Amino acid sequence: MRVIAWTLLLLLAGAGAAGLWLFQEWQRFGQQTVNQDGPMVLWLAPGTSFSATVRQLETLGTTRNDWRWRLLGRLHKPQLKAGEYLVEPGTTVLELIERIERGEVRSHRFTIVEGWSVAELRRRLASDPRIRPVGRDLAEDELMTRLACEGCYAEGRFLPETYFFVRGTSDLEMLARAHQTMNRVLSEIWSSRQPDLPLDEPDDLLVLASIVERETGQASERARVAGVFVRRLEIGMRLQTDPTVVYGLDDDFDGRIRRVHLRTDHPWNTYTRHGLPPTPIALPGRAALEAAAHPAEGTSLYFVSRGDGTHQFSDTLAEHNAAVDRYIRGRR
């Protein structure tokens, strides 16, 4: 009996020691860092299993797929959310698993630049490997129908801003966000616009803002440029702005506008037609929209580029011609 008792005691002591070792090893495993080196990216496709996730970590060289991972999978049964995860140095096993269960995926940025055309925006989206090209081949009218704006023209309808997204977001989702943001911002700015503007509806403001966006990149000049165009609209004078002419030309435009271009009539040629063109000519930003809604007061009806990014404003045609001689013909 005494031998049996001692044997049982030894077995119990051994089991206790083993249990303590397992518990301590389990505690150490949970606090073990997954990644010791630089940041690494873990991509979990929809339906990725826990064991496949661990194998991917092993492939990345961040951990070893041993019994502790298998035990974690059996005991914890993690509910993994698909997506892209940035594994920073110092991230522990439990921290990583908790982040994946919460779906704390990596965020990316995509910036729509003021003055882009909608064609340029779509090209940039199509060339970004982080974005799924769902609507890449849609015609513009079909695209706008998919964005719940049937019959709308696409140009100008997407607000230039920096948008955050996760890898795998579709181009249609990105365009929908930019479109909805433009609708909201345009509505807000239209509601607070200067009274008695020669604009009948928000779309007119969008068109005017797109011209302002293409005419100057100087923040201090936007309201002055808008003021020139508003005064021309008020007195029935043609806008005569080169960017609208260029917008209506064929794709073979070589970058230099010529007299023949100014004389060739098309819907966007503001040298041959009065009033605003039928659509925006670019994607205007908030500042251009604000400038179009609150044009600067003044008397100038003309402006010409000085060649340094700024413009010379003039009240009369004679003053304008003298400025052209100085800044345009003088450069030639």
DSSP states of 200-220: -SHHHHHHHHHHHHHH---GG
CA atoms within 13 A on the CB side of 128: 25
The whole-number pLDDT of residue 158 equals 98
Instruction: Tell me what the mean pLDDT of segment 191-218 comes to.
Output: 96
Residue of higher predicted confidence among 63 and 125: 125
Measured distance CA(231)–CA(313) in Å, rounded: 13
Residue of higher predicted confidence among 247 and 24: 247
Measured distance CA(253)–CA(85) in Å, rounded: 45
CA dihedral over 236, 237, 238, 240, signed as positive or negative: negative
Q: For the segment 55-100, what is each residue's pLDDT rounded down to a tens digit?
A: 888 887 776 767 777 777 777 778 888 888 888 888 888 888 888 8
The whole-number pLDDT of residue 55 equals 85
The whole-number pLDDT of residue 31 equals 65
Average pLDDT across the chain, whole number: 87
83: β partners: 44
pLDDT beyond 50 at 18: no
pLDDT beyond 50 at 14: no
40: β partners: 87
Q: Pairing between strand 40-44 and 311-314? A: unpaired
Instruction: Answer for the pair 277, 240: CB distance below 8 angstroms, yes or no.
Output: no
This prediction has a pTM of: 0.81
Of 5-14, 154-163, 212-221, least confident by mean pLDDT is 5-14
User: What is the residue extent of each domain of the chain?
Assistant: 39-62+71-106, 108-186, 201-329
The whole-number pLDDT of residue 104 equals 87
What is the pLDDT confidence band of residue 15, given thresholds at 50, 70 and 90?
A: very low
Measured distance CA(98)–CA(95) in Å, rounded: 5
Strand (E) or helix (H) holding 84: strand 83-87
Measured distance CA(74)–CA(66) in Å, rounded: 13
Instruction: Tell me what the mean pLDDT of segment 165-183 comes to.
Output: 96
Whole-number percent of the chain with pLDDT over 70 = 86
Q: What is the CATH number of domain 39-62+71-106?
A: 3.30.1490
Instruction: Tell me what the mean pLDDT of segment 296-301 comes to.
Output: 95
